[in-house]
């Protein structure tokens, strides 16, 4: 146990920073020799190096976490603050699924789990996660075995069955926080219902960690979570500038800390660094793309495996995605977090997650984003892998068109390229761009 803890601390605090520092030195040396970002984009964000270091540290430390610290696998919209106060190492299978998608491993992992009887129509993240276990393969080396599984239904019902399958495989406790769907605003009995479940979570997690939740530690993790969401929101709002200092596609990668490390000092330190760099770019007039001509809204998850090609196609014609409903969701609900009321504010924040709210709210948010960010067009990704996010998009598109926002529904999949036709999508995007003067 002591040896595992020493290995865990060494890898997370010493080894990864040293390795990242060496890679950073090599990258800077190459940049002095003339290496730079090519294509229709502005200069790359310097913070990208720190982001890679932060992510690598998280996953490398995770290889040594089980047996050293309590480990929890959690859904992206789970109220994680109580786990932070108990010093759990958290693993986010959705974040791992995104990495698998970028590495184009999802078809191979999906086929492994489909042979076990799972449907190809299942969420690509779930297939990547379960397939990784079935194939014994992951791009991050190794995921630690969980002591606890934590699932919140505020993003979809698929996670409930997904985590039941994980609980059956690992034979560990599963805590489900069930969030009633919110029409308008959550009602008082909804909040009370979730608060009761958060108390049960604290009891189970404390039993596994071997100590009760510390109230001061919980307040501090709530404070850090609120500060992190505020910093993330400020980063996103730098795109109000013309030209935007980065793209919405950039934000898809840089949201990793607020998803997987929310409620930690490392997360917040990273966003302070990113915010300073974005503000500097705004002051110097440096854009995320070289010739920003049309500003767009993106709805739904990114198409991870095709993101670079897609962003290049748009950027060459001067089209910049400056706001996204997905990235904004991590800032929107976080505003409700209040360290003075840890349980009640957590219940309200996680009840009001974007995907747990009705279509009128979603339309209102999309219209507001278009107005604030000057987006005259919208691309709505109809995601085969995420049906809750994709439902109602035809109606949303029609309402946006009525509001003067040219809109396109683009059929794809956020994880699995087997449900994607690059040629068809490129033709539709080119036709869409021709509609703009």
Dist CA 128 CA 312 (whole Å): 26
Whether residue 405 contacts residue 297, with contact meaning beta carbons closer than 8 Å, is answered with yes
DSSP line for 90-141 = EE-HHHHHHHHHHTT-HHHHHHHHHTTT--TTS-HHHHHHHHHHHHT--TTS
- State percent of the chain over pLDDT 90: 89
pLDDT for residue 177: 98
Report the alpha-carbon distance of residue 349 to residue 338 in Å, rounded.
9
Determine phi and psi for 279, rounding to 5 degrees: -65, -40
Give this prediction's pTM.
Answer: 0.92
Whole-number Cα distances in Å, 14 to 8, 261, 264, 270, 273: 10, 19, 18, 18, 21
The mean pLDDT of 78-88, rounded to a whole number, is: 96
What is the predicted pLDDT for the residue at 30? 37
Check pLDDT > 80 for residue 21. no
CA angle 128, 262, 82 (to 5 degrees): 100
Contacts 24+ apart (CB under 8 A), 193-196: 194/346, 194/347, 194/350, 194/351, 195/343, 195/344, 195/347
| Average pLDDT of the residues in 23-47 | 63
pLDDT digit string (tens) for 309-344?
A: 999 999 999 999 999 999 999 898 888 999 999 999
pLDDT score recorded for residue 334:
85
**pLDDT tens figures, 118-139:** 999 999 999 999 999 999 999 9
* Average pLDDT over every residue of 273-279: 98
Instruction: Return the higher-pLDDT residue of 19 and 278.
Output: 278
Read off the pLDDT of each residue in 59-80 and give the average, rounded to a whole number: 95
Q: How far apart are CA 151 and CA 129, in angstroms?
A: 14
Integer Cα distance of 264 and 159 in angstroms: 24
Q: How far apart are CA 146 and CA 397, in angstroms?
A: 41
What H or E segment, with its residue span, contains residue 285? none
pLDDT tens for 357-389 read 999 999 999 999 999 999 999 999 999 999 999
Q: Identify the weakest region by mean pLDDT among 10-24, 115-129, 281-295.
A: 10-24
Structure tokens at 366: 């999309």
The pLDDT mean for the chain works out to 93
pLDDT in tens, 142-199: 999 999 999 999 999 999 999 999 999 999 999 999 999 999 999 999 999 999 999 9
What is the C-alpha to C-alpha distance for residues 380 and 367, in angstroms, rounded to an integer?
A: 13
- Please state, in angstroms and rounded to a whole number, the distance separating the CA atoms of residues 151 and 165: 12
Task: Give every CB contact of residue 222 below 8 A, 6+ residues apart in sequence.
Answer: 81, 263, 337, 338, 339, 342, 345, 346
Burial of 416 (0-12, 13-18, 19+ CB in 10 A): buried
pLDDT for position 229: 96
Helix (H) / strand (E) element for 220: namely helix 215-237
For 49, the token pair is 């190096």
Sequence spans of domains, the chain: 2-433
Res 116: pLDDT? 95
Q: Is 40 helix (H, G, I), strand (E, B) or coil?
A: coil
**pLDDT over threshold 60, residue 392:** yes
Contact 296, 314 (CB under 8 A): yes
Q: Give the angle subtended at the CA of 247 by the CAs of 244 and 248, to the nearest 5°.
A: 120
Count the helix, strand and coil residues of the chain and give each as a percent rounded to the nearest 5.
60, 10, 30
Per-residue confidence (pLDDT) for residue 208, from 0 to 100: 97
DSSP bridge pairs for 182: 357
Residue 53 has pLDDT above 50, yes or no: yes
What letter does residue 338 receive in the DSSP assignment? -
Reduced to 3 states (helix: H, G, I; strand: E, B; else coil), residue 324 is strand
Q: Does residue 26 surpass a pLDDT of 60?
A: no
Element (H or E) spanning 412, and its range? strand 406-412
């Amino acid at each position: 146990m002591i040896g595992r803890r020493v290995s865990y601390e060494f890898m997370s605090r010493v080894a990864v920073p040293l390795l990242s520092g060496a890679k950073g030195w090599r990258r800077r040396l190459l940049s002095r020799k003339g290496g730079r970002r090519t294509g229709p984009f502005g200069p790359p964000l310097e913070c990208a190096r720190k982001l890679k270091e932060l992510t690598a540290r998280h996953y490398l430390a995770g290889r040594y976490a089980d047996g050293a610290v309590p480990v929890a696998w959690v859904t992206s919209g789970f109220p994680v603050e109580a786990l932070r106060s108990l010093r759990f190492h958290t693993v986010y299978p959705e974040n791992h699924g995104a990495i698998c998608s970028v590495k184009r491993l999802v078809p191979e992992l999906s086929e492994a789990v489909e042979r076990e009887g799972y449907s190809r129509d299942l969420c690509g993240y779930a297939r990547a996660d379960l397939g990784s276990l079935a194939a014994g393969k992951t791009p991050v080396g190794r995921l630690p075995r969980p002591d606890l599984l934590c699932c919140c239904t505020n993003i979809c019902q698929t996670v409930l069955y997904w985590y039941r399958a994980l609980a059956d495989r690992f034979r560990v406790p599963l805590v489900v926080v069930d969030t009633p769907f919110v029409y308008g605003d959550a009602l008082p009995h909804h909040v009370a219902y979730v608060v009761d479940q958060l108390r049960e979570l604290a009891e189970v997690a404390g039993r596994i960690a071997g100590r009760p939740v510390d109230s001061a530690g919980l307040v501090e993790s709530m404070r850090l979570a609120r500060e992190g969401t505020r910093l993330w929101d400020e980063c996103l709002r730098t795109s109000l500038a013309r030209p935007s200092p980065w793209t919405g596609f950039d934000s898809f990668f840089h949201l990793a800390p607020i998803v997987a490390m929310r409620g930690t000092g490392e997360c917040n330190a990273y966003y302070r660094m990113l915010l300073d760099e974005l503000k500097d770019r705004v002051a110097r007039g440096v854009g995320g793309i070289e010739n920003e001509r049309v500003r767009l809204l993106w709805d739904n998850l990114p198409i991870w495996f095709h993101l670079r090609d897609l962003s290049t196609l748009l950027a060459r014609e001067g089209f910049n995605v400056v706001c996204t409903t997905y990235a904004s969701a991590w800032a929107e609900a976080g505003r409700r977090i209040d360290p003075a009321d840890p349980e009640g504010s957590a219940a309200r924040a996680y009840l009001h997650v974007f995907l747990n709210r009705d279509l009128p709210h979603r339309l209102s948010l999309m219209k507001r984003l278009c107005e604030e960010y000057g987006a005259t067009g919208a691309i709505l990704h109809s995601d085969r892998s995420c049906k809750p996010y994709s439902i109602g998009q035809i109606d949303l598109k029609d309402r946006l068109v009525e509001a003067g926002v040219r809109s396109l529904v683009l059929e794809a999949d956020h994880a699995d390229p087997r449900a994607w036709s690059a040629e068809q999508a490129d033709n539709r995007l080119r036709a869409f761009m021709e509609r703009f003067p």
